[in-house]
Amino acid sequence: MIARWIAAVSMVFALAAPAAERPPNVLFIMADDFGWRDPGCFGSTFHRTPNLDKLAARGVKFTQAYAANPLCSPTRSSIMTGLWPARTGITAPACHVPQVVMEKKLSPGSPNVRVLVANSVTRLSTDYVTLPEILKSAGYRTGHFGKWHLGPEPYSPLQHGFDVDFPHSPGPGPAGSYVAPWRFPPALGIDSKEGEHIEDRVSSEVVKFIRENKDRPFYANYWQFSVHAPYDAKDELVAKYRKLADPNNPQRNPVYAAMVESLDDGVGRVLAALDECGIADRTIVVYFSDNGGVSWPGKDAENGMHKSERFQADMKSPPTSNLPLRNGKASLYEGGVREPCIVVWPGVTKPGTVNETVIQSIDWMPTLLEMAGVPLPAAVKPDGLSIVPAIKGGTLAREAVFTHFPHDTPASGQHPGTSVRRGDWKLIRLFAGNEDGSDLLELYNLKDDLGETRNLAAEKPDLARELNALIDGFLKETGAVIPKLNPAYKAGGAAASAAKADDPLRGWTARGCEGATKGDALAVTGKGPAPFLGFAAGTKGPGSIRLRARSTRGGAGKVEWIPSGAKQTDARSVPFTLPPGGWHDVAVDLPADAAIGILRVYLPAQEQVVEVDRIELKAGKARSWDF
C-alpha cells in the first residue's frame, strides 16, 4: 500500500546529517479520559501535575482544543489519519471486540429501541495512509507505546507504520489494576515488578526508545493508559490525596488524583530523557487527551468497569469534575470533547503563551508533517488543517468543526447526535430527540454560556437553521451513518400502555404537585412550595438515580432519601440542576451508607410544568419507569 504513494514524498532525510540539519523529533503524548480542567496548568487546585505545568511553561496552551469524538478509539483514528470518525466509521471504542466490522451502517436494533444507532467499524483499515507511515518513509524511526485500541493484528501499530510497539496489546488496557502485577495477555510476555505502575513501565520503554534513537529523527507516540479505568493507584499516593481532599472542591477523588500523579510522573520521566540526551531543543512535544474526563460516579461508569475493589469508599465521588464545562466523557457537551492541549516547538512557540484558536484532533496529521518539513502525499486528503499558523500566532481559515456521535451512552445521558462549532456558537442536533421523531436542536453561545445551560434555539431560529444546514452538509460529505427513529419501535407494548393509563405516576406519589400524562411523558404541575415525586424504594444503598426531564426555565432540585426505619430528620439529599429548554438527562449519585427507604425527587415545578420522560434507579436491583 505504501508503495502506491511513497514516490510522492520528495524529501528523504539523510540520517548521517549533522544534528543542526536533521529534522525535528516528534513526541506525541496523549492521556486517556483526562479532562480539560484536570492538569494544574489548566485550573485544577487538587491534582498535582508539576511536569505538565513545566511543559506548558515552555510552550503554548490551546484552551479550545477538541477531540473529534467524546470516546477514545474514534479520536485515536482521527489523529492517525487526519479524518473525521464520521468518514472512517469508527465512532465508538469497539476496536478490541472479536467481531471484525469494516462497513459502517445502522444497527438493526430491536422493537424496544426507539432510535436506531450506528454499528461502529471495529478496525482501522490499512487502506488508510497514516501519520507514522508518512514519517517513516521520510527517514523517521517510529515507535508506539501504550494504548492503541484501533485493532489487533493485522491492524496493530506494526501494520500502520510503527517500527516498535509496546506492549502490543489491542485492548483498552491491562485488566484488574494499573499497579503490578497487571494482566496483559500471557502471549505478550510482559513482566512487571511488584507495585510498579503501568505508566512507570510504559514511560521507561519510551525512554529506552529515545536513547536508542537520539542520533536520528524519531516519532514516538506515548499514549498513556491513564487515567482510564480500572480505577486503581499506588497506596501511598491515594493516602496522600485523602488528606488533601476538600469536600467543597468538585475535584476530590483521591484514587483519581493518585492516578493523575502517576500519569504526570510518566511525562516527567520521558521529558527528562530528552534533556539527558541533549535533544530537547530539537524535539516537538504535543500533549493531548482523547476525550473528556469521567464526571459521573465511578461505580456507574462503563457498566461497573470503573469500580475499584480496594478503594470503594473513595470512589463514591465522581472520578473528576469538568466544571465549568457541562457533562464529560461520552457527551457532545463541552466536558466530553474539550481537551487539555500543550504544544512545545523549540525556537517557534513562545514560552508560557495561551492560544484560544479552535483546533481539533483531525489537525494533528497535517500539522506535525508541516512542523517536520515532510510533504503530504498528493493522494492523501485529510479533513484536518495544519495549525502551524495558529502555533505561530496567526489565524486559521476554517468555518467550523464537527463532532458526530451516532450512539446512546446511558452513563453520560448522551443520545445520538452531531454538533457543529462555528465561532462562539455551537449547535447540537439530537437525532429523533423530539416526541414526534423529529430532531431536537440545542443552540449555545459558548462565549456567554460556557456551561451550555441556556438553549437559544427557540430564540434564534434562523441561526439554528443555518448551523443545522452545515451539519447536513457535513453528514452528506462524510457519508456518515445517521441515526433514525425505529419504525418497529413498540413504545413499551400494549401492557405498558394500559399500565400508564391506569396509573400515570407508575407507582410514584405526587406531593405538593399533580402528575398527568402528556404525550409520552408525565407532566408535573406544582401546587406547593416543595413539589416532589416520592417512592418507597426499599433497597440497599449506595446507588444513583437518573431522570430525563424538561421544562421551560429549568431550575434547582434535589434527590432526598430516608434510610429504612429512620425519621424524616435523618433524611439526606443531593442537589441537582435541570437546565432550561429541551430534554435533559440528570444523574445524581446517592451515597447512602444504609438501606434506602423513602426516595423523593424534588422538581423545579413551583411555577412551571416539568415533564418527566423516564426515571432510572440503580441501587440494589436496577429499576426504571417510563412515563
Q: Kindly report, residue by residue over 559-575, the tens digit of the pLDDT.
A: 998 887 676 777 888 89
153 Cβ contact partners less than 8 Å away, ≥ 6 residues apart: 159, 170
pLDDT of residue 1: 45
What average pLDDT does range 302-322 have in this prediction? 71
Among residues 372, 396, 420, which one ends one of the domains? Answer: 396
The pLDDT of residue 307 is above 70: no
The pLDDT of residue 331 is above 70: yes
The pLDDT of residue 492 is above 70: no
Within-domain flag for 429: no
What average pLDDT does range 116-145 have in this prediction? 97
* Residue 534 belongs to domain spanning: 496-626
Question: 546 forms bridges with which residues in the sheet?
Answer: 587, 616
pLDDT tier at 164, thresholds 50, 70, 90: very high
Distance CA 278, CA 266 (A): 19
Distance CA 466, CA 447 (A): 19
Check which CATH number belongs to the domain holding 392 and give it: 3.40.720.10
Check which CATH number belongs to the domain holding 600 and give it: 2.60.120.260
With pLDDT > 70 as the criterion, what percentage of the chain qualifies?
92
Within-domain flag for 471: no
Among residues 333, 362, 396, which one ends one of the domains? Answer: 396
pLDDT tier at 16, thresholds 50, 70, 90: very low
The pLDDT of residue 32 is above 90: yes
When comparing pLDDT for 187 and 134, which is higher? Answer: 134
pLDDT of residue 18: 56
**Are 349 and 231 members of one domain?**
yes
The pLDDT of residue 7 is above 50: no
The pLDDT of residue 283 is above 50: yes
When comparing pLDDT for 174 and 466, which is higher? Answer: 466
Query: Helix 198-212 crosses helix 254-276 at what angle (to 10 degrees)?
Result: 10
If you average pLDDT over each of 223-237, 264-278, 535-549, which comes out highest?
264-278
CA distances from 332 to 35, 239, 326, 489 (A): 14, 34, 9, 25
The pLDDT of residue 8 is above 70: no
When comparing pLDDT for 495 and 358, which is higher? Answer: 358
The pLDDT of residue 157 is above 50: yes
Within-domain flag for 423: no
The pLDDT of residue 382 is above 60: yes
pLDDT tier at 287, thresholds 50, 70, 90: very high
The pLDDT of residue 103 is above 70: yes
What average pLDDT does range 38-63 have in this prediction? 97
Distance CA 504, CA 46 (A): 46
pLDDT of residue 300: 38
What average pLDDT does range 364-373 have in this prediction? 98
Are residues 593 and 604 in contact, defined by beta-carbon separation less than 8 angstroms?
no
pLDDT of residue 621: 67
The pLDDT of residue 10 is above 50: no
Tell me how many domains the chain contains: 2
Within-domain flag for 594: yes
pLDDT of residue 57: 97
Within-domain flag for 535: yes
Within-domain flag for 115: no
Within-domain flag for 565: yes
Are residues 413 and 586 in contact, defined by beta-carbon separation less than 8 angstroms?
yes
What average pLDDT does range 431-437 have in this prediction? 85
Among residues 369, 396, 423, which one ends one of the domains? Answer: 396
pLDDT of residue 222: 98
The average confidence (pLDDT) of the chain is 89
pTM of the shown model: 0.78
The pLDDT of residue 387 is above 60: yes
Distance CA 96, CA 7 (A): 34
pLDDT tier at 88, thresholds 50, 70, 90: very high
With pLDDT > 90 as the criterion, what percentage of the chain qualifies?
64
Buried b (16+ CB within 10 A) or exposed e, 32-69: bbbbbbbbbbbebebbbbebbeebbebbbbbbbbbbbb
Within-domain flag for 96: no
**Amino acid (1-letter code) at residue 310:** R
pLDDT of residue 610: 93
The pLDDT of residue 120 is above 50: yes
Distance CA 58, CA 434 (A): 48
